[in-house]
């Protein structure tokens, strides 16, 4: 299934364990901005580049009030190794049955080297403090994606500040 969610939609609820077994629920992040990114597999070149891009921008992303959560169908042990190997400061959530990935439209048909198969589609969602989607990347580029998301968060923050200033007048 292709990603059908759009900015303004209510983000699907989720409850997933991370690499250490701690449960993360979208409802638990109410009032905060969440960067939820779906990636195909731990330790592959593209996924490593993407994770490291988020790592390198994580301090600035957190300064915008956002938390980063990575999601793949790999198990907790693989996530733990991946996180430790690359010094990732954010949780990696386990979606082994791909139910959450499917709900977000991040699990579906892909084409790689001319071959069609079902798998994880690299997708990212910025979820606002109210649980609504602020931005959606249906097919994210791996290498510089953390910087792209940071720029989007800066844009969102700027628009919100601008709107608040105009409401006060």
Strand locations in 39-164, DSSP E?
Answer: 66-72, 92-94, 107-112, 115-120, 123-127, 133-137
DSSP state of 16: E
H-helix or E-strand containing 155? helix 145-168
Q: Which of 24, 44, 42 is nearest to 34 (CA)?
A: 24
Question: Is 47 known to be catalytic?
Answer: yes
Rounded to whole angstroms, how far apart are CA atoms 38 and 124? 6
HSE, side-chain direction, 13 A CA sphere, residue 8: 1
Query: Residues in the chain, how many?
Result: 169
Query: Per the residue annotation, which of 11, 16, 26, 47 is the catalytic one?
Result: 47
| Residues with catalytic roles | 47
């Amino acid at each position: 299934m292709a990603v059908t969610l759009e900015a303004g939609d209510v983000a699907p609820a989720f409850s997933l364990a991370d690499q250490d077994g701690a449960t993360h629920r979208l409802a638990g992040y109410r009032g905060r901005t969440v960067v939820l990114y779906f990636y195909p597999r731990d330790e592959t070149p593209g996924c490593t580049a993407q994770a490291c891009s988020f790592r390198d921008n994580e301090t600035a992303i957190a300064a915008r009030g956002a938390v980063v959560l990575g999601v793949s169908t790999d198990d907790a042990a693989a996530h733990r190794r991946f996180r430790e190997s690359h010094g990732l400061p954010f949780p990696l959530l386990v979606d082994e049955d791909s139910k959450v990935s499917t709900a977000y439209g991040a699990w579906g048909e892909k084409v790689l080297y001319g071959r069609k198969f079902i798998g994880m589609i690299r997708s990212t969602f910025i979820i606002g403090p109210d649980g609504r989607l602020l931005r959606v990347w249906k097919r994210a580029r791996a290498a510089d994606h953390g910087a792209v998301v940071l720029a989007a968060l800066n844009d969102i923050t700027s628009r919100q500040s601008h709107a608040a200033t105009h409401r006060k007048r």
